[in-house]
Structures are given as C-alpha cells and as structure tokens.
Structure 1
C-alpha cells in the first residue's frame, strides 16, 4: 500500500530500514525498464512537435479571450521538449552519446537552456537529492541562513516559496546556467558551447520575431508560452520534492536510498498534461535510476509500488496540494521538516 501526502502535523517519513540500499532497490526493477526503444523515443519527439504546432496554431487563430488558454497549452507542450532534453541529459534517449547531445541541444534551444550547463547541474541534484545545503534544486533555507542572507535574497526566497512559486525556475535558470566559471574547468568548454548555441538562437530568432510581428508578437509567440513552460518547470520540481512530511537531511544524516525512494514524490496530473510532458510526473523511479527512459517510468513505478509500496508517496495535483506546500513548506526545521514564514516570524517576535 502506497503512502499519500500527509498533513504538516504528521510524523516525518523515513526509510527506517538500514538493509534497504540503492542497489537492492534498482535490482528489484524489471530489466525491461532500462531498455531504450528508438521508436518510442522518437514518437515522443513527434508528439511534442505536433503539440507545439497545435499550440501555436491556437495562438495565431484564437480570439483575444482564448489566448490565455492557448498560451498555457503551448507552454505545456513546450515542456515536452524539456523532458526529451532531460532524457538526453541522462543519456537515456539514445544509445549514442552524440545523438543525446545533439537532440538535447535542439530541444532546449528554444527554451534558452544551455544544455550542458543544465545537464551538469541536474545530475548534481540527482547525486545529492534532498541533501540539505548541498542539493541545488529547491532546497529549503535554514532559519539561520534565511535571517542572514540579506533582504534581496530573503525577499526572492519568500516569493518563490509562496504563491509565486511558478517563477522560481526562471530565477534558477538566470542564476545558474550561463556562468561557466562556476563549473569545473574540465566542463567549461561544454558549457561555453551550450551557451553559444542558445545565444545564437536568440540572436537570430528574437530580432526576426520582433521585426516580423512586433514587440507584441515577441511577447505573444515566445515570452508568454515560455512562462507557461516555466510554470511546469517550477511546479514539477517543487511538488516532486516537497511535502510537509518529507525532510531534507544534513549530510551526516543523509541516506541516498531514503532520499531517492522516500524523498521523491509521485504526483498525478490531468491526463493531457502527463501525455504532453511524457510522464515526467512519474518521478520516483527516475530518482531511483536516471537510466530509465521516460516511456518506461510507469512500468518502473508499478514495480516500486509492488516491492517498496510502504515507502512510495503518491499525491494528486490540485489547489489544496499547492496551498499546503506554499503555506507551510518554507524553512528547514529538523523536528518536523518545515517551518512556515509565519511560524518563524512569531518565534522571532517571542525571543
């Protein structure tokens, strides 16, 4: 029986079994989960291209009052490009590395994501999932860090942990993926190549779009669909690693098996979103092994539920879920995973 999202006052979820290791979890999965299938991989590409084309057709022909729906649909379809690039970053799209690199660059190019920079940062997240002060994807600040980081950083953090969570990945994108100096020297040539690819794309595509459709055309055809994509980029990352009963752990307490199996959360979304986004929401098996292609994630998830169901957390995407996360899951608190900004402010006022 799988676990569901638990309310803030509930007991923290943990592995509570030192004999459960990553090796045992991975070995429990069917070998078919790891098999690459070129037909399925390229079918995902076709689905995304057709979905994006349909979205842009809707933008072109929709009356003004339907444009928000067209933008949101197109942003969701564009997320499919990210998921394909995501598989390429994990070398699970194709057997040949150069194919993964080429397809990854092409898919992430219109999203203005430098492929290698994102690949390296994201793989670091997989190695250090839910490791406090180390994980680079939506880790919570400690109360001491929050109080000492200055008004600008604290303000930005408060914004993206609250009701404006959906702009969080834009801040992450801007801060982390273009400065090759923050990467190891051996990776800097790859980062520079990927930055050059997206800069060249932007230098050609954006002026062309503005010259042919005007500034409004740039906003209408690129910026707003791109923000729709970032809504999902932010939402997937936040929801799939944040719950009131799922704790980030300091390094001396951190356990990789617990982090990947218990610290990752499966979330069900409406079918058309999971279809366009290639099952990125089936997130637990992806953290158990990045070698599983996106089209095999559901098979792997069913296996994990069968063998490790007591540790598998499933939830459903709705307003209540987002309200719980954005109201309660703010600052790291060792006893109950999170402390809200209101709790922290009240505690500070009492001291």
Structure 2
C-alpha cells in the first residue's frame, strides 16, 4: 500500500503544474483529427503551387525594378521615404517565398520529391538558408514539437540552465525570478531587437534557441551549426545533404559578391541585405509567437505524444493582407503541425475543421502582435527542471 501511494504521489508530482493551472492533458487521436478534415485538403496541386511561386517572384522583381528608379527622383526627402517602404514591402513578400521553400521541404509544394526539393533548394539558397540542413532539423522539430528534449526550435531554458535560483531559494517565489536590470525597458527593447534582427542567422549558424547539446557525451564538435555536418544536429547519412546545402548558400554568396563588384556594395545592401533582414525579423516574430506562450505548457516523455505536442502551437492573424501575402504561415500553423503536407491554399479550410476536434486545445490568440511579443518575452523565461508538464515562468 505504501509503495502504491508513493507511486501515486510521484505521478501527481510530475503533473503538479498541470493541476495548479487546471490544464487537462488531451486524449484525442490522430485518426479523429484526420477524419475531420476533408480529403481534398490533402491534395497537392503542383501547377497551383507554381502560380504562387511565380506570383511572389513577379512582385519581388517589380519592386526591385521600381526601386531602381528611386535615385532618379530629385527630392531627397522622397528618397528617405521610399527606401523604407521598399525594404518593408520586399522583406514582407520574401517571407511568403521563404515559406514556399519551407513547404517544399515538407513535400506540400508537390508530391514529386524532385520538383519540391529542386525548387526548395533554389529558393532557400537564394534566401541564404541551407535547404536540406534546415529541413533535417525542422523535421525533428515537427516530430518532437513541445517536447523538452526532442524539440529543436524555441526550446525553453530550464531553471538550472538559465542560472536561476533553486525553486525553494528563489527570492521571487516559486513562479519566477526577477532582475531589476533585465526588466528595464531599454535593455528589454535592445535584447528583443537583437533577437528579431539576428535570431534566424544565429539559429542557422550557432543553433541559438535550439536544443542544448553541451551535456551530450557523443558531441565531438564545438560548432553546433546547420553548416557543420559533423555536429549533433545531423547523422552520418546526412553528410551530403548538408554539403549540398552549404554549396547552395555559397553560390548565392558568390552571386551577391559578383553583383557588388558590378554595381557596388551599397546596391547589394539596399536591394538585398536590408529586405533580407526585414524577412528574418518577420520569420523570428512569427515562429516565436507560434511556439512561445505563457499559457501553453511543454511536456516531457511520460506525458508527450505526437498529437499532444502538435497541439502546443499558436495561431495568430497578422491581418488579411499580410496573411495572404505570407501564405497564411501565421494563422494556420496548428494544422500544419498535425499534417505538414497540407498546402497553404487548403490550410485555412483545414483549420476550420480541426478546431472542431481540438476544442479548447486549439490555441488562437488575437492579442495585438507587438503586445503579444512583449508579453511572451517578459513572461516566458524558463521552465522547471522537474515535472512532466511544465509552464513558462518569469
């Protein structure tokens, strides 16, 4: 009897935060969810996918052509006004192109692997993303979303990893730790700006916000990067895919250097690099808000399964224009995590059906985007070292 009570006590301890938050662990099945979505939503139309790709390329080309005439306008004030408009518009459109390549990695662009991977490699390389390398780690993210040790994106720091006081010694109490300097608006703004601007390149180059491999005994590499085939992100069989990814990005860098030699470094910065930074800001903002929320937990092995993890994702609307331009990457991410081969042009319809099955476990947050980003940034600093269901603390 005592042993049984001890096991029950341990079980209760593992889900203590879920009990405190009145969080019910869901028990829906993948079969229930799939059957709720009409069969045609899973159909991939290669021709239709190409129309979206060409539409994005046409708009981006038109913007470049128009921007090439800005210098002919004699008024300096108009120059100052038009360049930021070009940078924002081009960077925003580029997000849509980025997500088309992302769909290629999931084979949502076409059922043909040759077509999907050929287009994806070209497009992501043009956007300085190592296509296959990113696809490998992104696949792990989908397979382990919301899992504390299997996920690869936006993995929460634990209390000990973040250097926070032990729970029983925390001066701010069991729910968090506050540092006056960290909370000053200027420091917070600068940190947020740095992450938004350089978060994507930092993740690609240095695995920032990814899984912690510092305690991995098999890790023989000090450079955890999507450009290093020998690091723990990859298996030995992935070598040539990583190599092809590096070659693709290297070719694009070579093209940019050549353009710089022909038309000058300033032209590369104005026409490509600044929109590239705007694109990265959008991608980090969107993906961060899809996976970081103060009311959404993470699971450990005793509780996690695929469908429970897939539901730990947040949909947000960025307004009808941006949603359309960016192929509904922000407002249909939940269904994407359940069925990643559903193309974006069916995702809105599929989301309407999936909501019926998920019920209260469907996360949609209509908080204004910048307010939501500030809220999550401030309240989502770490999770506890123990527990099978853990929520962010601040």
Deviation at 1:40, TM superposition (A): 2.1
Choose which of 258, 268, 274 in structure 2 pairs with 1:208.
258
The alignment status of 1:280 with 2:329, answered yes or no, reads: yes
Note if contact 2:30-2:307 (Cα within 8 Å) is conserved in structure 1: yes
The alignment status of 1:164 with 2:194, answered yes or no, reads: yes
Deviation at 1:236, TM superposition (A): 1.4
Deviation at 1:235, TM superposition (A): 1.1
Deviation at 1:27, TM superposition (A): 2.7
Task: Name 2:344's counterpart in structure 1.
Answer: 294
Name the structure, 1 or 2, with higher relative contact order (CA <8 Å, separation 6+). 1
1:69–1:332 distance in 2 versus 1, CA, 3 Å: farther
Alignment of 1:323-338 (within 5 A): 323-333=374-384, 337-338=391-392
168-177 or 108-117: bigger deviation: 168-177
Note if contact 1:76-1:232 (Cα within 8 Å) is conserved in structure 2: yes
SS at match of 2:163: helix
Note if contact 1:285-1:297 (Cα within 8 Å) is conserved in structure 2: yes
Alpha-carbon distance in 1 for matches of 2:189, 2:303: 29
Alpha-carbon distance in 2 for matches of 1:28, 1:284: 14
Deviation at 1:122, TM superposition (A): 0.5
The alignment status of 1:139 with 2:155, answered yes or no, reads: yes
Structure 1 stretches of at least 4 aligned residues deviating more than 6 Å after TM superposition: 158-161
Deviation at 1:109, TM superposition (A): 1.6
Deviation at 1:256, TM superposition (A): 2.2
Choose which of 110, 116, 120 in structure 2 pairs with 1:104.
120
Choose which of 46, 54, 61 in structure 2 pairs with 1:46.
54
Alignment of 1:175-190 (within 5 A): 175=206, 176-182=225-231, 183-190=234-241
Note if contact 2:298-2:390 (Cα within 8 Å) is conserved in structure 1: no
Deviation at 1:58, TM superposition (A): 4.5
Note if contact 2:26-2:361 (Cα within 8 Å) is conserved in structure 1: no
Q: CA offsets, 1:35-78, max 9 Å, x none?
A: 11123211211221122123323533441223122111111111
1:253–1:308 distance in 2 versus 1, CA, 3 Å: closer
Alignment of 1:51-130 (within 5 A): 51-62=59-70, 63-130=79-146
Task: Name 1:34's counterpart in structure 2.
Answer: 42
- TM-score, length of structure 1 as denominator length: 0.85
Kindly report the root-mean-square deviation, in angstroms, between the aligned alpha carbons of the 2 structures. Answer: 2.3
Aligned residues: 320
The alignment status of 1:239 with 2:269, answered yes or no, reads: no
1:54–1:12 distance in 2 versus 1, CA, 3 Å: farther
Choose which of 5, 11, 16 in structure 1 pairs with 2:25.
16
Alpha-carbon distance in 1 for matches of 2:344, 2:22: 26
Unaligned runs of 5+ in 1: 1-9, 149-154, 341-351
Task: Name 1:225's counterpart in structure 2.
Answer: 275
Task: Name 2:248's counterpart in structure 1.
Answer: 197
Larger radius of gyration: 2
Deviation at 1:13, TM superposition (A): 7.6
1:130–1:160 distance in 2 versus 1, CA, 3 Å: farther
Q: CA offsets, 1:126-166, max 9 Å, x none?
A: 00001113311111111211229xxxxxx9xx999745331
Task: Name 1:7's counterpart in structure 2.
Answer: none
The alignment status of 1:249 with 2:305, answered yes or no, reads: no
Choose which of 311, 319, 330 in structure 2 pairs with 1:270.
319
Note if contact 1:36-1:94 (Cα within 8 Å) is conserved in structure 2: yes
Alpha-carbon distance in 1 for matches of 2:261, 2:30: 53
- TM-score, length of structure 2 as denominator length: 0.76
